[in-house]
Amino acid sequence: MFSKSSKGTADPIEHKVMVKPAPPSILSVDLHVVGDLNGDGEVQIDGAVDGNIRAKSLLIGETAHIKGEIIADSLRVHGTVSGHIKARSVVLGATAYVVGDIFHEELAIETGAFLEGHCKRIAKPKDSVKLQDSNTSKINVVTDDSTKTQSTVNQPKAGEPSAAPKSGPLPATG
């Protein structure tokens, strides 16, 4: 009645471990860091950093002063940054003061933000265009006016030698 089966068909018990995301790392107003910062999670800076910063998600508070390059997936700036910014998503808040170039996929600038530098959109990987062979270009040729049949011929670009065999005019179809 309460005996164990000797067949061993019982499934092993799976223990799922819930991994909590780490709390954000916070550099408070009274902290001044000289050197580079690297983090895989969320970082909030309210103090001063003289060095490069790399993080997945970065929030630069109103009291923050950053001198160095910033690389992040997501960046919100409300303080002062002197240096280049490279991030997928960049938001400059109304109190932001940025001197440096911004390389981004997405950029939002709130009214009141100061930016002295260039903004350069970087292409998303899925938006990249597959390039054709640089020696040829495609030309559509109409071979018969009544049926509007088209064929595609590779022609060399202007100024390049022809690699295709030379032949006479296209034969008429009809």
pLDDT digits (tens, 9 = 90+) for 47-56: 999 999 999 9
- Residue scoring higher pLDDT (18 or 39): 39
- How would DSSP label each residue in 53-74? EEEEEEEE-TT-EEES-EEEEE
Q: With a threshold of 0.75, does the pTM exceed it?
A: no
28 pLDDT above the threshold of 50: yes
pLDDT digits (tens, 9 = 90+) for 43-90: 999 999 999 999 999 999 999 999 999 999 999 999 999 999 999 999
CA-angle at 130, arms to 104 and 84, nearest 5°:
20
> What pLDDT score was predicted for residue 3?
61
Is-contact 64 80, C-beta < 8 A? yes
pLDDT digits (tens, 9 = 90+) for 124-142: 765 444 444 444 445 555 5
> What pLDDT score was predicted for residue 115?
97
> What pLDDT score was predicted for residue 151?
47
Is-contact 47 30, C-beta < 8 A? yes
Average pLDDT, the chain: 79
146 pLDDT above the threshold of 60: no
